[in-house]
Structure formats: C-alpha cells, structure tokens
Amino acid sequence: MQLLQVNDLCKRYGAGEARVDALKGVSFSVQRGEFVAIVGPSGSGKSTLLHILGGVDRPTSGRVVIDGTDLYQLDESALAIFRRRQIGLIYQFYNLIPVLTVKENMALPLLLDGRRVDEGRMRQLSETLGLRERMKHLPGQLSGGQQQRVSIGRALMASPALVLADEPTGNLDSKNSAQILQLLQTFHRENGQTLIVITHDESIALQADRIIAIEDGQIARDEVIRR
C-alpha cells in the first residue's frame, strides 16, 4: 500500500542572478514498509528533498501526500501537528536539546503535542537502543553514537508513519555507523517502519530495498535492489 506520493516537486532558492533551482520536477512514490536510500553528489538537492518530505521546508511547487494528507495544503499549525505525529526526523548532527535529559529529548515531540508519554514504549525503545542506563544523562555526556541512538528514539517515540534520516552515520566512525544501520534495519524489518535515508555510505545504500539517485535536482536513477 502506498504511503508517500511526491508529484513534480520544484524548489527554487533566491531570485535573479542568485537563483538556485535545487529541485526540478521530482516525482516518485513509496510503499508502506519500504526502506529507500537517497544518494547523489553534494549539492544535488537531497537535503532539500528530505526537508520538503518532512514538512520543514515548503516546495516552490508540487505536491507531497503522506498517508492521504496533502502536506502543503495544511496551515502552519496543522502541518506542525502532522509532522510531530507522522514524521520522525534524524539528522547528521543529532539536533538534541543540550539542557534536556535523554528521556526528555525522546519525549519532546509528544510533550510539544500535549500528548501523554507511553512509559512502556519509552522503556522498550531505550532497551532496544541500548540507552537504559543513560536515560538521565544529558546529551553532552554521551558519545556521538549514543547521541544518534537518542535521536532515533526521539524520531520513533510517537510511532510515526515515516522516518526520514539525513546522513545519520555521517559523523560517526565505522563501528558506530554499523550499529546505527543495524538499529534502523531492526525497526524496518521487525516493525515494518518506512524509512527514507540520505547517505553517502555505500554499505547503507546497499542495505535498502531501493536506491533513488538524485543529480542536479532530478531523479537520475530509481532502482529496486535484488537479493
């Protein structure tokens, strides 16, 4: 069943001489439960695409429909609510709040939404992520790999329909990268989590079900990986 439909997305930054067409008519769809890797050279428009899919950056034109909701037909507050409920975002540099504990960081999207924190889910996630002994720590007291595991917890806490990650292993050594990849695979295989991951890391891309290559703001390749 289809979860995401992207139609003819265009994104233009700036105007006149300084104009940049970061996306030039991108269309594709993603099935529920798919793991899609997005690859392509630096500056090709990958982050721009991910931000638009995540409801953080408006397209210049085109449509993004997630689970039947046309994202950019929503007003700002409805979009913010949809984002916190249905989209989990994972960034290269974690984007954790330094003055909040691990547990508070993970609970934040729910608290901002005025929703109750499911303690059972919190415990289960902290266990899977290997963070059980770290829940009262501040992000600054953790290693990079641990911080990225917290950000995965934050992305998954509200059980979103779609998880988007922008170079989730880009700041980690190979051991921590492998661990993060394995965790993403666990949520994908065991819970059918739909994942879209931007990566420069060939070993991650090859683990996906499908690779979409972006070049110069357009889809250059879209291939299902055969195993």
Helix, strand, coil percent content, the chain, rounded in steps of 5: 40, 30, 35
**How wide is the angle at C-alpha 153 spanned by C-alphas 198 and 148, nearest 5°?**
55
Contact positions with ligand ADP (CB under 6 A) in 119-158? none
Q: Which is nearer to ligand ADP, 163 or 165 (CB)?
A: 165
CB of 118 to ligand ADP, least distance (A): 31
Cα maximum dimension of the chain: 54
| The pair of three-digit structure tokens given for residue 183, joined into one six-digit string | 């965790």
- The DSSP code sequence of 110-167 is HHHTTPPP-HHHHHHHHHHTT-GGGTTS-GGGS-HHHHHHHHHHHHHTT--SEEEEES
The whole-angstrom separation of Cα 88 and Cα 75 is 20
Contact present, 223 and 201 (Cβ < 8 Å): no
Q: Which is nearer to ligand ADP, 85 or 200 (CB)?
A: 200
Q: Which is nearer to ligand ADP, 47 or 193 (CB)?
A: 47
Residues binding ligand ADP: what is the number (CB under 6 A)? Answer: 14
Contact present, 108 and 158 (Cβ < 8 Å): no
Q: Does 19 bind ligand ADP (CB under 6 A)?
A: no
CB of 31 to ligand ADP, least distance (A): 24
The whole-angstrom separation of Cα 194 and Cα 33 is 4
Q: Which is nearer to ligand ADP, 51 or 188 (CB)?
A: 51
CB of 46 to ligand ADP, least distance (A): 4
Query: Site mask, ligand ADP, residues 21-50, x = CB under 6 A?
Result: -x-----------------x-xxxxxxx--
Q: From the centroid of its chain, how far is CA 69?
A: 18
Q: Which is nearer to ligand ADP, 14 or 130 (CB)?
A: 14
Q: Which is nearer to ligand ADP, 23 or 125 (CB)?
A: 23
Q: Does 167 bind ligand ADP (CB under 6 A)?
A: yes
CB of 220 to ligand ADP, least distance (A): 12
Q: Does 20 bind ligand ADP (CB under 6 A)?
A: yes
Kindly list the residues in this chain that would bind ligand ADP in the complex (CB under 6 A).
13-14, 20, 22, 40, 42-48, 166-167
